[in-house]
């Protein structure tokens, strides 16, 4: 009997696309990853607050947990499910849009530890997110990781349909 291995499941991530309405239109809250690799990167380095989850957790619960862990935020308000996206065969991103407001300067989240510099034997701690900021949608599209841009496009279409 030949037993076929089940196909490897792509990593699943979940997060919230937090937005607010301003006089000039919507702005989205993006976070910049911490650590030395990302320190000098800006264009296409930002992300919605999100993280991985396992089979034992519901995507929306994971999204709320990850946002709290990365930012310390717990946005309240109606959630709009966005169509999950697959990032170049690497992972599936589940996201919900929520209208909320916050001061990005008070963002506080978890840290991670890694060897730095590489092969030095020295372990250093870095924040998962080193900063957050509000961006108008057109600017956010130049900041967000290319694999997440569709989330901004989905939000833009939904908001245009609601107008």
Write down the pLDDT at residue 89. Answer: 64
Q: Which helix (H) or strand (E) holds 57?
A: none
| Spans of all domains in the chain | 12-162
Read off the pTM: 0.89
Homologous superfamily (CATH) for 12-162? Nucleoside Triphosphate Pyrophosphohydrolase (3.90.79.10)
The pairing of strands 12-22 and 91-99 is parallel
How high is the mean pLDDT in each 10-residue block of the chain (163 residues)? 56 96 94 92 96 94 96 94 84 96 91 92 93 97 96 96 69
Write down the pLDDT at residue 162. Answer: 66
Write down the pLDDT at residue 161. Answer: 86
Write down the pLDDT at residue 6. Answer: 46
Report d(CA 14, CA 59) in Å as an integer.
6
Q: Among candidates 53, 26, 22, which has minimal Cα distance to 140?
A: 26
């Amino acid at each position: 009997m030949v037993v076929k291995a089940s196909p490897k499941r792509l990593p699943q991530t979940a997060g919230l696309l937090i937005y607010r309405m301003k006089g000039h239109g919507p702005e989205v809250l993006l976070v910049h990853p911490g650590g030395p690799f990302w320190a000098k990167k800006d264009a296409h380095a930002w992300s919605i607050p999100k993280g991985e989850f396992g089979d034992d957790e519901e995507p929306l619960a994971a999204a709320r947990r990850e946002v709290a862990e990365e930012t310390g935020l717990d946005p309240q308000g109606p959630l709009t499910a966005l169509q999950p996206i697959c990032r170049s065969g690497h992972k599936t991103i589940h996201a919900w849009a929520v209208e909320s407001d916050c001061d990005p300067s008070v963002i506080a989240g978890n840290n991670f530890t890694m060897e730095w510099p590489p092969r030095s034997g020295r372990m250093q701690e870095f924040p998962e997110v080193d900063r957050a900021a509000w961006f108008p949608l057109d600017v956010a599209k130049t900041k967000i990781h290319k694999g997440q841009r569709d989330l901004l496009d989905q939000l833009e279409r939904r908001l245009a349909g609601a107008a």
